[in-house]
Structure 1
Amino acid sequence: MNTQSGTLIAGMQTPESQGFAAETASLSEWLGYLEALHPSEIDLGLDRLRQVAECLQVTTLPCKVITVAGTNGKGSTVALLESVLRRAGYRTGCYTSPHFLHYNERIALNGKPVSDALICAAFRQIERARGDISLTYFEFGTLASFIIFAEQKPDIAILEIGLGGRLDAANLIDPDIAIVTTIALDHESWLGHDIAQIGREKAGIFRPGKPAIIGSETLVSSVRETAEVIKTSSIDQLGVTYRWQQTKDGWNWQQLNQAGDVTLQYLQLPELSLPTDNAATVIQALQYLDAMGIKIPTVALYEGLKAASLTGRLQRIGRFMLDVAHNPHAAEYVSKRLPVVKGRRVALLGMLDDKDIESVLDIMAPYFDTWYLAQLDGPRATDVSRIEAHLLGLGCVNICTFDNVSSALTGVLADTDDQDLVFVFGSFYTVAGVLAEKERLLVCTSYERN
């Protein structure tokens, strides 16, 4: 096989020979094909991807690139960046994962998911170029985003790392600015239990001569050490070179010099629905964009931060609050932000087996009166009996188990009213299962709050 030309080796099965018509396939048909194409769901490494990207001529993008990695906070950082940049008049492209309801959510231009037609056209290009190189579902989608951004030419592309950092498909593109938000144990089946090594892997998105931004005051030291080894142009860390301070009416952002003196600040920034640490990190990134000629008016900054929101992150729909919250770090964050209610706090939970389930339950158990446990689908789903057993050991007694998210939602709707808070969490799949039936949430409540 000639990889560069994309020709097929003799006797190789083409998509058509397998009953798949690439030229006329719908997006749903493509996704079904891709799910069965590669022997494993995750296959970390860039060699296969780079060969295909070189053939497609998408190893670089014709725009500024910001890459965001981390255990938690990636999605909100991307959302905040995108919101500010759009209000400043710039065209944006965002690649994120996973999606909640529609695959198109993963690739957005100017805040809107791209069309089926654009994605299918990109998939066809990849299929022709890859020859006998096997790509995962995620790698296909990542390459599709590169193709679409190369064709549509946004001013800035924001790439979210899916897993790890150094070996993630999105890290094929060299960023102009790289951000690592937080580091914690997650995806342990793939990344391991060594927090220092996980930090080094996530810091693998940094590049020589480019800014490295660390969006946590308590990040493992291996992240900064890796940035130093890579010889980034600068290393900015929350609490060291920039910070935020709570005020009576909002918060302030401040840039600091080595002596700890304030050299630049924004005053009375608006209260946010997303984490302030990530908003402060976004402002630090904007300082570097400014030096690259991408100017952000102050009014665009204020309006963009205030307007930013993210599906499945402390999202309110009537008496429901939804947050992916699938690891201890996220659980700690959301537990401090659960509102006081007149009625009960009810949890609707489903989790995957590769998460630190027991630690998440240890954190969240004291906050809820009743638990509705939903069995998720797929080989990675944990059995609800494991969750139930641990909750019983923690002294939780009001526990109901269900075969799926939909039936758990039915039980919750029958057992709660507007005085209660229903907190849906534990997995993208759990939140997506409830969002898919959003109309059921709305008809049972007298109001909706976003």
Structure 2
Amino acid sequence: MSATLNDWLARLERQHPVAIDMGLERVAVVAARLGLTQGPIAQRVVTVAGTNGKGSTVAMLERLARAHGLSTASYTSPHLLRYNERLCFDGIAADDATLIAGFERVESARLAGDPVSLTYFEAGTLAALVAIAEVRPHLAILEVGLGGRLDAVNVIDSDIAVITTIAQDHADFLGTDLEVIGFEKAGILRQGRPAVLGSRALPVSVSQRIGALEVPAYWLGRDFDHEDVDGDQWRWRGQGAEGLRYQLDSLPDPGLPLDNAAVALQVLGLCGVVPQHAQSLQAMSTVALAGRLQWLGNWCFDVAHNPHAAHYVAARLAQRSPAPRRRIGLLGVLQDKDAEALIEALAPVIDVWLPVGLAGPRGRSGEALAESMIGRGGEVLATASSPAAGVDWLASRLAPDEEVLVCGSFLTVAGALEALTALAGDEV
């Protein structure tokens, strides 16, 4: 009996002694055996690194590219509900057969010659790259998983590198020094190849790396930018590789950060595509990213799990009009994340809290989270053992004029989304 996708994923979780083992030595050996480093996997490759905004940048660039007639492949992580979400072709998640075929090829290459041990993420990344190389689309967009320099995605030389923001996250692996974090993120840059910088303030280490590699750099606020115009519309200004100046007016709010939208348009211009208004308007009107300010009725889901992202979520919720009578924060945070900073960032838009526990070795209980909320002057409605339990408790008590923000982790959002969807199905 052939192995299913779930069989493969379970196998990959067991085959390496640690879940995260940063470094390119192992993955580079297998990539070479697969032929991934011998030629381009797509006509153009874009890698996207940063602390926040990677997923929204990938989503908007992918949608813009398709609206302008390009074929696309995108690779992102982690997934929200299904592993297949990580690899998409022309906006459609890869099927099980495609992923399994990739895992089989990676496994054969891993065992060819001296066996090489790969982590779950490394094997998944190589399998996705194999699948992309077989299709060779116009544009491949690869989200860097952790850091940059030593991340498995960085085994591929990109044509354009993007760095969105740099803030503290994954401190166990990247530390808390922003200059060090910036150096790691800048590890995706390549000699003489363009970089798009999507933050108005980046560590000096990024600029130093740009200078050392003689990278043509396009900075938000200097070489491209966005500005609000009337109502919910905005204007973008940017430039192409030959210095041609572009401007698009009256673009709709995509529901995602405009800094990242401006980055996506700038990257598109550097790909040799002149951004057109009609196509860009269509893309910005239809782009969607699960778990990023995603609304289901009066429930809002966002995977923000660090203070920088939480401040953005709070700012967007503060702009909602009319404001709800009460907003409830269903929050679940892993043990290695700064829960108190998250609570502080969200507190201005949360009236009462419902802390939920997250399972696993990195998990944090709802009771422990409640202590942090109460310690910062917050009111706690109840605690729950899991996101699903929190949804079950709250759904029957939620008034029509109340809102819920589900936030704090991919695990929190995924568990709550599944539970709320199941409840809605039961009511049909």
TM-score category of the 2 structures, normalised to the smaller one: over 0.9
Asked whether the 8 Å contact 1:346–1:369 carries over to 2, the reply is yes
* Aligned pair partner of 2:95 in 102, 106, 115: 115
Aligned length: 417
Residue deviations 1:339-390 (CA, integer Å, cap 9, x gap): 3434210011111112121111112123222211111111111233331111
- Against the structure 1 CA distance between its residues 357 and 413, is the aligned structure 2 distance closer, same or farther, given a 3 Å change threshold? same
Aligned AA (2:5): L
How far 1:185 moved relative to its partner? 0.1
Aligned AA (2:30): V
Asked whether the 8 Å contact 1:319–1:445 carries over to 2, the reply is no
User: What secondary structure is seen at the aligned counterpart in 2 of 1:437?
Assistant: helix
- Against the structure 1 CA distance between its residues 54 and 443, is the aligned structure 2 distance closer, same or farther, given a 3 Å change threshold? closer
Provide the residue aligned with 1:13 in structure 2.
none
Asked whether the 8 Å contact 2:61–2:264 carries over to 1, the reply is yes
* Aligned pair partner of 2:18 in 29, 40, 51: 40
> What pairs up with 1:125-164 in 2 under 5 angstroms?
125-131=105-111, 132-164=115-147
2:379 maps to 1:429: no
Aligned AA (1:65): V
Asked whether the 8 Å contact 2:56–2:257 carries over to 1, the reply is yes
* Aligned pair partner of 2:78 in 94, 98, 109: 98
List gaps (5 residues or longer) in structure 1. Answer: 1-20
2:339 maps to 1:353: no
User: What secondary structure is seen at the aligned counterpart in 2 of 1:415?
Assistant: coil
The 2-side partners of 1:289 and 1:256 are apart by 11
> What pairs up with 1:3-402 in 2 under 5 angstroms?
24-59=2-37, 60-131=40-111, 132-232=115-215, 234-249=216-231, 250-255=233-238, 263-290=245-272, 294-338=273-317, 339=320, 340-402=322-384
Superposition TM-score, scaled by structure 2 size = 0.93
Provide the residue aligned with 1:7 in structure 2.
none
The 1-side partners of 2:129 and 2:195 are apart by 22
- Against the structure 1 CA distance between its residues 262 and 396, is the aligned structure 2 distance closer, same or farther, given a 3 Å change threshold? farther
Superposition TM-score, scaled by structure 1 size = 0.89
User: What secondary structure is seen at the aligned counterpart in 2 of 1:170?
Assistant: helix
The 1-side partners of 2:136 and 2:57 are apart by 22
The 2-side partners of 1:324 and 1:62 are apart by 30
Residue deviations 1:44-90 (CA, integer Å, cap 9, x gap): 11110010011111124142101000010000000000101111121
How far 1:254 moved relative to its partner? 1.8
Aligned AA (2:83): Y
List gaps (5 residues or longer) in structure 2. Answer: none
The 1-side partners of 2:239 and 2:427 are apart by 47
CA RMSD of aligned residues (A): 2.0
- Against the structure 1 CA distance between its residues 368 and 230, is the aligned structure 2 distance closer, same or farther, given a 3 Å change threshold? same
Asked whether the 8 Å contact 1:353–1:382 carries over to 2, the reply is yes
Asked whether the 8 Å contact 2:48–2:163 carries over to 1, the reply is yes
Asked whether the 8 Å contact 1:46–1:169 carries over to 2, the reply is yes
The 1-side partners of 2:244 and 2:96 are apart by 48
How far 1:306 moved relative to its partner? 2.0
Deviates more, 1:364-373 or 1:190-199: 364-373
The sequence identity of aligned pairs, in percent, is: 42
The 2-side partners of 1:262 and 1:110 are apart by 28
The 1-side partners of 2:297 and 2:106 are apart by 43
Residue deviations 1:234-284 (CA, integer Å, cap 9, x gap): 111111111111111411112389xxx994321222122111111111111
Aligned AA (1:298): H
Provide the residue aligned with 1:12 in structure 2.
none
Asked whether the 8 Å contact 2:373–2:380 carries over to 1, the reply is no
The 2-side partners of 1:83 and 1:380 are apart by 34
User: What secondary structure is seen at the aligned counterpart in 2 of 1:68?
Assistant: strand
The 2-side partners of 1:445 and 1:403 are apart by 24
